[in-house]
Amino acid sequence: MPLLVAFLLAAAPPSAGPPVRLSPDSTLRARVAAWRAAHEAEVFREYVELLRLPNLASDSTNIRRNAAAVLQMLERRGVRAELLEAPGSPPAVFGELAVPGATRTVVLYAHYDGQPVDTARWVSPPWQPVLRDRALFAGGREIPFPAAGERFDPEWRLYARSTGDDKGSIIAQLSALDALGALGLRPTVNLKFFYEGEEEAGSTHLRDMLTRHAAALKADVWLMGDGPVHQTRRQQLSFGVRGDMGLQLTVYGPARPLHSGHYGNWAPNPDVMLVRLLASLRDEEGRILIPHYYDEVRPIGAAERKALATLPPVEEQLKGELRLGRSEGAPGTLGERILLPAINLSGLSGGRTGSTAANVIVPEATAFLDLRMVPDQRPERVQALILEHLRSQGFFVVTSDPDSTTRRAHPKVIKAVFSPGYPASRASLDEPAVRAVIAAVQQDLSEPLITLPSSGGSDGTYVFHEVLGVPQIGVPISNHDNNQHAENENMRLQNLWDGIGLYAGLMARLGPAWKGVEAGKPMP
Amino acid sequence: MPLLVAFLLAAAPPSAGPPVRLSPDSTLRARVAAWRAAHEAEVFREYVELLRLPNLASDSTNIRRNAAAVLQMLERRGVRAELLEAPGSPPAVFGELAVPGATRTVVLYAHYDGQPVDTARWVSPPWQPVLRDRALFAGGREIPFPAAGERFDPEWRLYARSTGDDKGSIIAQLSALDALGALGLRPTVNLKFFYEGEEEAGSTHLRDMLTRHAAALKADVWLMGDGPVHQTRRQQLSFGVRGDMGLQLTVYGPARPLHSGHYGNWAPNPDVMLVRLLASLRDEEGRILIPHYYDEVRPIGAAERKALATLPPVEEQLKGELRLGRSEGAPGTLGERILLPAINLSGLSGGRTGSTAANVIVPEATAFLDLRMVPDQRPERVQALILEHLRSQGFFVVTSDPDSTTRRAHPKVIKAVFSPGYPASRASLDEPAVRAVIAAVQQDLSEPLITLPSSGGSDGTYVFHEVLGVPQIGVPISNHDNNQHAENENMRLQNLWDGIGLYAGLMARLGPAWKGVEAGKPMP
């Protein structure tokens, strides 16, 4: 039995008519919402059951229980599913749903593992889902799960590890499939599902996993159900992340602390050497001063500028909240600024300050920097440019603690230790897949979709792009105030409901939208 | 009875002939050494008794026991003595010995109080003097005090708080008086004695003390029996100290730590603002870049350059010891470099480095600087120049934590907190008093006297100069490795013996030397 037939038989109500294509002006979102309103209790029940499974990537027994549960959730919906394995890794749950006549294939991504927990900081245990009548920070109180037939208040929040990051996305994606089936509709693209089991543990085996299973994962675009929507609660898509690399610099002075009176302006002061070096790296507007640093940076394109224009202005509110009298690179907006490489100085230590300050020349001074990269910067090239700059500033560069001979032999010695870095990943906003996804999502929204060319943060998205060569688009559903990665992680129910509508719309509209883009139809 | 007669009757052996003037080519030092060799046990006994008295300035009962003991030591020698009082202060012990025919008056200074002790770190209790056969760091072992008639090995060391700093100087000065008397000689200058009781507690009442008793303390020069001799063990005189002032600078960023990816090169980074500001203060050669900073600096004069030439070269040895590949301001020697003002950066903190480093933009960054000053810099002028410079770098300057309104109102806010500062003090090497002291000391040395125009360190000498208007000269006797201010403070006996010869020579020779200087005789 072809998969899609099985799916329709399993999920579509008996009364549903034959599958139809939706026109862009249809009321799809409203119909999905109506289905959801009638099925909230079932959606909620499946969600709570999944959240009850402890899901640390390092907990191999429980992580496989999660994988098995997600596999069953796919199979219940008629999706052919299997566990993908790579040596030493939690399994990835893979599903495949071919749609007759569909010419494009989309992978729906989420991860089912969760961040480590500091149980002491949780108001309720992380794997015992608790419903609250509003956010904890707004005084939310625990309420019982609704009895059969009772409605769910959309402002209620469900608290548990991975409510938002990412089990909620899995529920939204699979419920969207249910909704379409129930409405007698079918996806307009072939669907694949890839639910990763070690994202919060650094995706150590991801490259191996993708490489081994590249054939199964062949697709035209990935939709990544990870991260939060915009702070305004409006729908947002994001098309990239910055790359990242750490760098610790240590500069050496006298072998022991010296009295600053007896030796001050004779003994070289490592604090002074360090601050002068750091001052040579960038200015106060974020502009990097290292020669050739911008050579590989892909300029911001017209499509990116257009996307930036969809971002709600947040700058004035943020400056108020953060007590800032300026921003770097003004009048550049936050969205624009994070499309640029950044050298962030995040740690400085070189002798004591405050009540324990002493009049000494310290033996060494250290700085920690993190280097955010954008397309098409390559970490190895960035490293080379930085090392060249250190040398141009008169430093002899070492990569481990210098011995006495080395310190004696060179006027200035610096230890430079890079932590493993990875490049940025950013889908081109000119690609048909990207334009199609934007068009499909926008069709169901009453307000402009927010299109973020890149998040400022960093993750391993580049691995997908490097191995598979197709774009990844962030299609988040969680509330921005979901305490992702921290204690008391939660999902606002309206965000889950909206997420079902979002993914149902994508499944139903993406095929035609894509054809429209390829036929040169104007973007909505 | 005139004081001097009383002194001679009390201290001179009955066989001593009438007082005579020494000619410069006499063997005074040898005669004093011979007296000392015959009286080591008595000198040692008086020293040990004085060291047995706990002498923290804050311990008012014991500090007065010390003062009373020192007072008696003066009176035993026929010196008219009294306690000088200032409200809230330990007493200073004052003594006066007029010499008929002497035209110049010299104050011999030392302090009888000692540094606080961390008893747990002392090998033997700080106020139980212990004799060791060599330095502890060289494996010295405790030995009994010599029995009557036994000789003292000059390499033995006596361990107790204030052996070097400064009770040893008191013993040397008073024993010198004994020696002269025993040799039938008399001082050639009027002598005054000023033994301070709170130097190690910051000399809080010194200005009041000197002001109240300015008439009694009227003199032409002060000889300060404090600090160590040169590391080569050669005799050293020093003519000044640098001034000092602390400065803590805090620069503000966002009100809470921010994710460096999401906000990096939009949110102002306080670490970056701080390092760029610090880089603008001075270069890596110690040159201060603040406009007009050197305007008030008294140039190094010809006499100072001549004095510098007496300093044994220590630079290469120090660079080896300290694992340095260069020194600041080379080829300037250490002695020369500390005649200049210094901005020393001694503390830096602005987020974590090492294993706890995090990718954040920190809310604030702090630096601690100490500012060493030289004549004729005034602390208030230095403060004004620095504040002006901070403003020229775009900072709004506050002196306490800025509130939200202030942070919002200004692009860059800095908190600048100066700790109370004081100016340098340096006697001019052209002054007759200074030239006379140098000449008098040199006469008894077989190798060139080391003349240090200024120590790099700082102390309250300026108070003496400001209140009394006469030069202070450092005339130290302690070994350089005496653990001054730390645990296991000690005096090498040969240093004490040499100190007796030094002060005896000064008392006997200073009057004629001074006359010689005034008559235009060439310096030795």
Q: Does B495 touch chain A (CB under 8 A)?
A: no
Q: Report how far residue B507's alpha carbon sits from residue B106's, in angstroms, rounded to the nearest whole number.
A: 9
Q: Report how far residue B82's alpha carbon sits from residue B95's, in angstroms, rounded to the nearest whole number.
A: 6
Quick one: A133 and A30 in the same domain? yes
Q: What is the pLDDT of residue B26?
A: 58
Q: Does B399 touch chain A (CB under 8 A)?
A: no
Q: Report how far residue A412's alpha carbon sits from residue A438's, in angstroms, rounded to the nearest whole number.
A: 53
Angle between helices B493-518 and B28-51 (to 10 degrees): 130
Last residue of a domain, one of B418, B447, B475: B418
Determine the residue among B242, B244, B263, B266 to mutate to test chain A binding: the one whose Cβ has the most chain A Cβ atoms within 10 Å: B266
Quick one: B11 and B115 in the same domain? yes
Q: Does A263 touch chain B (CB under 8 A)?
A: yes
- Map residue B244 onto helix, strand or coil: strand
Indicate whether B378 belongs to any domain.
yes
Q: What is the pLDDT of residue A315?
A: 95
Q: Do A353 and B368 touch (CB under 8 A)?
A: yes
Q: Report how far residue A520's alpha carbon sits from residue A492's, in angstroms, rounded to the nearest whole number.
A: 38
**Banded model confidence at residue B446, pLDDT cuts 50, 70, 90:** confident
**Banded model confidence at residue B523, pLDDT cuts 50, 70, 90:** low
What does the pLDDT average to over A385-389?
A: 98
Last residue of a domain, one of B359, B388, B418: B418
A395 to chain B, minimum CA–CA distance in Å?
Answer: 11
> Of A165-169, A443-447, B444-448, where does the model show the most confidence?
A165-169
| Residue B283 with chain A: CB contacts under 8 Å | 272, 276
Q: Does A380 touch chain B (CB under 8 A)?
A: no
Q: Do A261 and B457 touch (CB under 8 A)?
A: yes
The proportion of chain B whose per-residue pLDDT surpasses 70, expressed as a percent, equals 94
Q: Report how far residue A375's alpha carbon sits from residue A424's, in angstroms, rounded to the nearest whole number.
A: 6
Which H helix or E strand runs over B289? none
Quick one: B89 and B234 in the same domain? yes
Residue A37, Ramachandran bin (φ over 0: left; ψ between -120 and 50: alpha; else beta): alpha
Indicate whether B300 belongs to any domain.
no
Are β-strands B243-252 and B413-418 bridged in parallel, bridged antiparallel, or unpaired? Answer: antiparallel
Is the separation of the CB atoms in B183 and B76 below 8 Å? no
Last residue of a domain, one of A418, A444, A465: A418
| Residue A238 with chain B: CB contacts under 8 Å | none
Quick one: A396 and A261 in the same domain? yes
What does the pLDDT average to over B374-378?
A: 96
> Looking at residue A357, which CATH number applies to its domain?
3.30.70.360
Among the partner residues B347, B359, B456, nearest to A262 by beta-carbon distance: B456
**Banded model confidence at residue A523, pLDDT cuts 50, 70, 90:** low
Q: Report how far residue A394's alpha carbon sits from residue A272's, in angstroms, rounded to the nearest whole number.
A: 14
Quick one: A54 and A180 in the same domain? yes
Report in angstroms the alpha-carbon separations of B135 from A191, A474, B125, B494.
84, 72, 16, 13
Q: Report how far residue A202's alpha carbon sits from residue B462's, in angstroms, rounded to the nearest whole number.
A: 62
**Banded model confidence at residue B14, pLDDT cuts 50, 70, 90:** very low
Task: Give the ranges where A146-298 is alpha helix by DSSP (H).
Answer: 168-182, 206-212, 260-263, 270-279
Is the separation of the CB atoms in A51 and A129 below 8 Å? yes
Q: Do B342 and A260 touch (CB under 8 A)?
A: yes
**Counted domains in chain B:** 2
Burial of residue A390 (CB within 10 Å: 0-12, 13-18, 19+) is: buried
Indicate whether A306 belongs to any domain.
no
| B54-96 pLDDT, tens digit each | 999 999 999 999 999 999 999 999 999 999 999 999 999 999 9
Indicate whether B320 belongs to any domain.
no
- The two tokens of residue B94 are 């004052």
Q: Do B404 and A323 touch (CB under 8 A)?
A: yes
Nearest chain B residue (CA) to A282: B272
Q: What is the pLDDT of residue B524?
A: 53
Is the separation of the CB atoms in A243 and A460 below 8 Å? no
Choose among A221, A212, A227: nearest CA to A166. Answer: A227
Which H helix or E strand runs over A106? strand A105-111
- As a whole number, the mean pLDDT across chain B is 93
What does the pLDDT average to over A262-280?
A: 97
Is the separation of the CB atoms in B408 and A325 below 8 Å? yes
Task: Give the ranges where B183-310 is alpha helix by DSSP (H).
Answer: 206-212, 260-263, 270-279, 302-308
**Banded model confidence at residue A521, pLDDT cuts 50, 70, 90:** confident
**Banded model confidence at residue A484, pLDDT cuts 50, 70, 90:** confident
Quick one: A21 and A97 in the same domain? yes
Q: What is the pLDDT of residue B250?
A: 98
Which H helix or E strand runs over B34? helix B28-51
Q: Does A373 touch chain B (CB under 8 A)?
A: no
Q: Report how far residue A200's alpha carbon sits from residue A165's, in angstroms, rounded to the nearest whole number.
A: 9
Q: Report how far residue B496's alpha carbon sits from residue B479's, in angstroms, rounded to the nearest whole number.
A: 9
Amino acid identity, residue B248? Q
- ∠ CA A88-A90-A94, rounded to 5°: 125
Indicate whether B309 belongs to any domain.
no
Q: Provide DSSP, A135-147.
A: -GGGT--EEPPPP
Q: Do B456 and A263 touch (CB under 8 A)?
A: yes
Asked whether residue B474 carries a pLDDT value surpassing 70, the answer given is yes
Residue linked to tokens 């006298």: A254
| A69-78 pLDDT, tens digit each | 999 999 999 9
The ipTM, to two decimals, is: 0.88
DSSP letter at B166 equals: I
Q: Do A332 and B266 touch (CB under 8 A)?
A: yes
Q: Does A133 touch chain B (CB under 8 A)?
A: no
B334 to chain A, minimum CA–CA distance in Å?
Answer: 6
B255 CB contacts (<8 Å, ≥6 apart)? A321, A322, A323, B363, B404, B407
Determine the residue among B324, B326, B344, B364 to mutate to test chain A binding: the one whose Cβ has the most chain A Cβ atoms within 10 Å: B344
Report in angstroms the alpha-carbon separations of B145 from A145, B69, B487.
88, 22, 21
Among the partner residues A326, A413, A458, nearest to B268 by beta-carbon distance: A326
Q: What is the pLDDT of residue B420?
A: 85
Is the separation of the CB atoms in B217 and B107 below 8 Å? yes
Are β-strands B450-452 and B236-238 bridged in parallel, bridged antiparallel, or unpaired? Answer: parallel
Indicate whether A320 belongs to any domain.
no
Q: What is the pLDDT of residue A522?
A: 66
Nearest chain A residue (CA) to B245: A359
Domain of residue B160, residue span:
3-241+424-518
**Banded model confidence at residue A524, pLDDT cuts 50, 70, 90:** low
Quick one: A162 and A275 in the same domain? no
Q: What is the pLDDT of residue A458?
A: 87
- Total-model pTM: 0.88
A485 to chain B, minimum CA–CA distance in Å?
Answer: 13
Q: Report how far residue A367's alpha carbon sits from residue B104's, in angstroms, rounded to the nearest whole number.
A: 59
**Banded model confidence at residue B196, pLDDT cuts 50, 70, 90:** very high
Q: Provide DSSP, A417-471.
A: EEPP-B--EE--TTSHHHHHHHHHHHTT-SSPPEEES--SS--THHHHHHHH-S-
Q: Do A327 and B456 touch (CB under 8 A)?
A: no
What does the pLDDT average to over B465-470?
A: 96
Asked whether residue B152 carries a pLDDT value surpassing 50, the answer given is yes
Indicate whether A304 belongs to any domain.
no
- Map residue A195 onto helix, strand or coil: strand
Please provide residue A495's backbone torsions phi and psi, each rounded to the nearest 5 degrees.
-65, -40
Q: What is the pLDDT of residue A520?
A: 87
Asked whether residue A20 carries a pLDDT value surpassing 60, the answer given is no
Q: Does A355 touch chain B (CB under 8 A)?
A: no
Residue linked to tokens 């071919």: A98
What does the pLDDT average to over A365-387?
A: 97
Asked whether residue A11 carries a pLDDT value surpassing 60, the answer given is no
**Banded model confidence at residue A26, pLDDT cuts 50, 70, 90:** low
| B87-129 pLDDT, tens digit each | 999 999 999 999 999 999 999 999 999 999 999 999 999 999 9
Among the partner residues A244, A327, A411, nearest to B268 by beta-carbon distance: A327
Q: Report how far residue A144's alpha carbon sits from residue A401's, in angstroms, rounded to the nearest whole number.
A: 59
Quick one: A281 and A233 in the same domain? no
Asked whether residue B460 carries a pLDDT value surpassing 90, the answer given is no
Residue linked to tokens 């409605």: A151
Quick one: A178 and A267 in the same domain? no
Q: Do B259 and A366 touch (CB under 8 A)?
A: no
Q: What is the pLDDT of residue A202?
A: 87
Q: Does A121 touch chain B (CB under 8 A)?
A: no
Report in angstroms the alpha-carbon separations of A51 from A69, A114, A121, A294, A465.
11, 10, 18, 45, 30
| Residue B418 with chain A: CB contacts under 8 Å | none
Indicate whether B105 belongs to any domain.
yes
- Map residue B192 onto helix, strand or coil: strand
Determine the residue among A262, A272, A315, A352 to mutate to test chain B binding: the one whose Cβ has the most chain B Cβ atoms within 10 Å: A272
Asked whether residue B320 carries a pLDDT value surpassing 80, the answer given is yes
Among the partner residues B261, B342, B348, nearest to A350 by beta-carbon distance: B348
Q: Report how far residue B110's alpha carbon sits from residue B73's, in angstroms, rounded to the nearest whole number.
A: 14
- As a whole number, the mean pLDDT across chain A is 93
Q: Report how far residue B105's alpha carbon sits from residue B111's, in angstroms, rounded to the nearest whole number.
A: 20
Asked whether residue B15 carries a pLDDT value surpassing 50, the answer given is no
Choose among B271, B270, B293, B296: nearest CA to B281. Answer: B293
- ∠ CA A271-A275-A276, rounded to 5°: 115
Is the separation of the CB atoms in B376 and B466 below 8 Å? no
Report in angstroms the alpha-carbon separations of B43 from B50, B163, B178.
11, 13, 10
Quick one: B133 and B253 in the same domain? no
Asked whether residue B462 carries a pLDDT value surpassing 70, the answer given is yes
Determine the residue among B336, B359, B374 to mutate to test chain A binding: the one whose Cβ has the most chain A Cβ atoms within 10 Å: B359
Is the separation of the CB atoms in B31 and B183 below 8 Å? yes
| B211-267 pLDDT, tens digit each | 999 999 999 999 999 989 998 999 999 999 999 999 999 999 999 999 999 999 999
Asked whether residue A25 carries a pLDDT value surpassing 90, the answer given is no
The proportion of chain B whose per-residue pLDDT surpasses 90, expressed as a percent, equals 87
Among the partner residues A320, A344, A353, nearest to B366 by beta-carbon distance: A353
Quick one: A248 and A233 in the same domain? no
Q: What is the pLDDT of residue A182?
A: 97
Q: What is the pLDDT of residue A231?
A: 86
> Looking at residue B77, which CATH number applies to its domain?
3.40.630.10
Asked whether residue A8 carries a pLDDT value surpassing 60, the answer given is no
Quick one: B268 and B284 in the same domain? yes
Amino acid identity, residue B398? V
Three-state SS string over A299-320 comes to CCCHHHHHHHCCCCCCHHHHHH
Q: Do B271 and A345 touch (CB under 8 A)?
A: yes
- With a CB-CB cutoff of 8 Å, which residues 408-467 of chain A face chain B? 408-413, 455-458
Please provide residue B109's backbone torsions phi and psi, each rounded to the nearest 5 degrees.
-110, 145
